[in-house]
Structure 1
Amino acid sequence: MFSKKKTIDEDYVSGEITKIEGDDVEVVMDNEEQISEKMTSSNVLKKYTELGKVMFGMLKDYRKGVYTNVPWFTIAAIAFGFLYILNPFDMVPDFIPGIGYIDDFAVFTFGLRFIETDLHNYLDWKLEEEE
């Protein structure tokens, strides 16, 4: 899935997002606990733990069909970010101390730029549902 010759930038991330399919979302959901654990155990990704919970919530609500006001690109961006975190042998392997999660952080950050508005819309919807 990931080529060592690529550099991580917005073009790379957006190109990879377009390759995400429904089965990839299922892989993410099946590995939610493992992804969450990697995020919380990494000093680099830890600050995104709460945001990760929101993103998993959006995926769950999307899959259940209760939240459909979201473009596929956003769902794919979330799935791609989580799949990248899940993959221990990405551009910079996660087992390299100190720098192993830097590329995961970059991919996650670039992905967030694409979907920030949709995440805000989801949170607004979630708050309205709770009232």
Structure 2
Amino acid sequence: MAKFSEEKAEKELKKGQKNFSAEKLKDLLQKEDSLFAKFLNVTNLKEYTDDFIDLFSLLRDWYQGRYKDVPWLVISSIGGALLYVLSPIDLIPDFIPVIGYLDDAAVIAALVKYVRVDLADYRNWKEAEEV
């Protein structure tokens, strides 16, 4: 089985980040159910379900103007990575049994590593908002 390297995942993350736009964010926000189903049903992505929920919530709160304490670079990274996961045709096409989602999981892992501080800040903000 071919390994999807951390370097390839980071390269895809940066490519998605560069190609992401406010218009794509608007479209992505309408695909929450499809993404959530993928994270729940794909073995390689299940471990990132909680991160996905918070990342998507961050996107939504940023878009709606409730949370702006994050740079566009982080928003575009999250959006680009989620669009990568949503695409069935990427570096390792999703229809390939067993390995089809390895690249998706690697890109999400790279994303979580990249935005860990911003995601922690958002989680703290969200927790404080709920009190």
- The CA distance in 1 between the partners of 2:9 and 2:57, in whole Å, is 26
Distance in 2 between residues matched to 1:113 and 1:41, nearest whole Å? 23
**TM-score scaled by length of structure 1:** 0.89
Percent of pairs with identical residues: 33
- Alignment of structure 1 residues 59-70 onto 2, 5 Å: 59-70=59-70
Q: How has the CA–CA distance of structure 1 residues 88 and 15 changed in structure 2, closer, same or farther, with 3 Å as cutoff?
A: closer
TM-score, length-scaled by structure 2: 0.89
State how far apart, in whole Å, the 1-side matches of 2:16 and 2:89 are: 16
Aligned AA for 1:42?
A: V
Partner of 1:49: 49
Counterpart amino acid of residue 46 in structure 1: K
Corresponding residue SS for 1:8 = helix
Task: Tell me the SS of whatever aligns to 1:67.
Answer: coil
- The question of 1:126 aligning with 2:126 is answered yes
**How far did residue 12 of structure 1 move?**
4.0
Structure 1 residues 126, 39: CA separation in 2 closer, same or farther (over 3 Å shift)? same
For structure 2, the residue ranges without an aligned partner over 5 or more in a row are 1-6
Aligned to 2:73: 73
User: Partner of 2:30 in structure 1?
Assistant: 30
The corresponding residue for 1:4 is none
Q: CA deviation at 1:28?
A: 1.4
1:17 and 2:17 matched: yes
Q: Which residue of 1 aligns with 2:4?
A: none
> Gapped runs of 5+ residues in structure 1?
1-6
Superposition RMSD in Å: 1.3
